[in-house]
């Protein structure tokens, strides 16, 4: 799956079967805050949300940022992926 980082709109997106999914974020004081994960039901259950959240965490790592998952999906995902615990704010 190809994840696109739209830096101007602070969003990671992907299109699957013609349907868009996204993770929205903001950056404040060296912390990337994940504010929303949206995967429409039509393409749900395929790990798309996880791929988008992972892209956000990988971006944060590459930029030297911490991550604060504010949406419930990203928060639950971060608890299941201990390899990213060092990034949590």
Q: Tell me: the pLDDT tens digits for 31-68? A: 999 999 999 999 999 999 999 999 999 999 999 999 99
Instruction: Tell me the C-alpha distance between 39 and 45, whole Å.
Output: 9
**Would the CA dihedral through 76, 62, 88, 9 be positive or negative?**
negative
* SS3 state of residue 3: coil
Q: What residue segments make up the domains of the chain, in order of their start?
A: 4-87
Prediction pTM value: 0.95
For residue 1, what pLDDT is reported? Answer: 84
CATH number of 4-87: 3.40.630.30
CA 7 to chain centre: 13
Average the pLDDT over 55-82 and give the result. Answer: 98
Read off the pLDDT of residues 8-38 as tens digits, 9 standing for 90 and up: 999 999 999 999 999 999 999 999 999 999 9
């Amino acid at each position: 799956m190809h994840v696109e980082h739209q830096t101007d709109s602070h969003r990671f997106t992907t299109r699957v079967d013609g349907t868009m999914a996204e993770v929205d974020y903001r950056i404040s004081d060296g912390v990337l805050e994940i504010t929303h994960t949206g995967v429409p039901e039509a393409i749900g259950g395929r790990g798309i949300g996880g791929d988008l959240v992972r892209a956000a965490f990988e971006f944060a790592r590459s930029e030297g940022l911490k991550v604060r998952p504010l949406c419930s999906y990203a928060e639950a995902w971060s608890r299941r992926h201990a390899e990213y615990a060092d990034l949590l704010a």
